[in-house]
Amino acid sequence: MSSYERLLVHLKQDLHRGEVLIKVRRLLREGMVVELFSQGYSAAVEGSTLFDHDRRQHAVQSVLRKLEKGLQSQADKLEHLGVKAGADVSWDRDEAEALVRKALRFQPDLVLHAPDTHPDLMHRLLGAPDWRLLRQCPAPLLLSKKQQWNDRPVVAAAIDPFHLDDEAAELDQLILQHAGRLAEQLEGQLHIVHVYQTLPHSAIFDEHMVMDYEALQHKVQHEHRERIAELIKPLNLQLDDPCVHLLEGELAAVMPEWSERTGVDVLVMGSLARGFIDRMLLGSSAERLLERMPCDLLIVKPDSFRCPITEF
């Protein structure tokens, strides 16, 4: 997989723009196309009874021109680094939809977005912008936390070869491809991680199974090792390589601690479409980890993904 060539960067007014732009510069390669995007909206302007239609449009354009001027200033600085850079703004109440529509028009290889944090359940049920963006963005989505990447960033691919359908199995290959692509572009280190759970002893009711509990656990561990070994063989990697990690436990509990201990800068994960009830009660692995992870997340969707939002 070649390096990322088309980068869409969502620059907000009130979030760590400086940190995001530093990461953008780390990703730059000669000939790259970078589009800086910002969404503006003011309920006061939109709903004011003091404006007629023409004055309201004038006020909207005034806000957007100010946004675009700031973006264009940053785009000009990027062009001096040997890339083609542009700036675009939109007037939209819905931040997530505005960015998804822009992605549909621009067709980026990668979208860079700094998420807010919404730890409470209510935001999740109501569909906070970051949650919806994670589910709806048609391009690979790099969720940039505030901390900067190390000089030689650690990029970890989180894979799970125990899938029941071809779409999910295809996703593992994409995760590995994007993790390798990002690690190469950042001149970093590629790691591969798989988290699995064995059956709790308390869940065994059959007395014969209880007696053979240790054998069952060993069988589960052996199956996971075999699947991972098969998946990483094309990368010329083996299970005992220091960059390959098999972790036992619950994903949302194990992964953040391991990532911090290992010094992971970007964790690459997959995201599959789920129904509303599943999203409300369970969420995807990426959603459950969004606020818990100390590092950035790169979210990849299968090629079969169909965006629920239209371009215009």
Task: Give me the amino acid identity at 210.
Answer: V
Cα–Cα distance measured from residue 113 to residue 253, given in angstroms and rounded to the nearest whole number: 25
Structure tokens at 9: 């960067």
Q: Over pLDDT 70: what percentage of the chain?
A: 84
Rg (CA), the chain: 22
On whether the 6-300 domain is CATH 3.40.50.12370, my answer is yes
* Residue type present at position 172: D
Quick check: 33 and 9 in contact, CB under 8 A? Answer: no
Q: What is the mean pLDDT of the chain?
A: 85
User: Is the distance from CB of 150 to CB of 263 less than 8 angstroms?
Assistant: yes
How far is residue 149 from each of residues 5, 209, 268, 296, measured CA to CA in Å?
A: 20, 47, 14, 9
Q: What is the per-residue pLDDT across 90-103, written as a single tens digit (0 to 9) for each? A: 999 999 999 999 99
Give the mean pLDDT of 284-311.
86
Report, as an integer, the average pLDDT of 1-13: 88
Residue 163 has pLDDT above 70, yes or no: no
Length of the chain: 312
What are the distances in angstroms from CA 100 to CA 132, 158, 172, 207, 270? 10, 24, 24, 54, 18
Higher pLDDT, 4 or 221: 4
Closest by Cα among 197, 193, 187 to 172: 193
Q: 255-282 pLDDT, tens per residue?
A: 999 999 999 999 999 987 554 433 433 3
CB-based contact 47:103 (threshold 8 Å): no
Can you give the pLDDT at residue 210?
55
**pTM of the predicted protein model:** 0.88
Reading the block at residue 65, the tokens are 């021109």
**How much is the average pLDDT of 6-17?**
84
Would you state the structure tokens that stand for residue 196, as one six-digit string?
């699995």
Question: What residue ranges do the domains of the chain occupy?
Answer: 6-300
Amino acid 130 reads: D
115 touches 272 (CB < 8 A): no
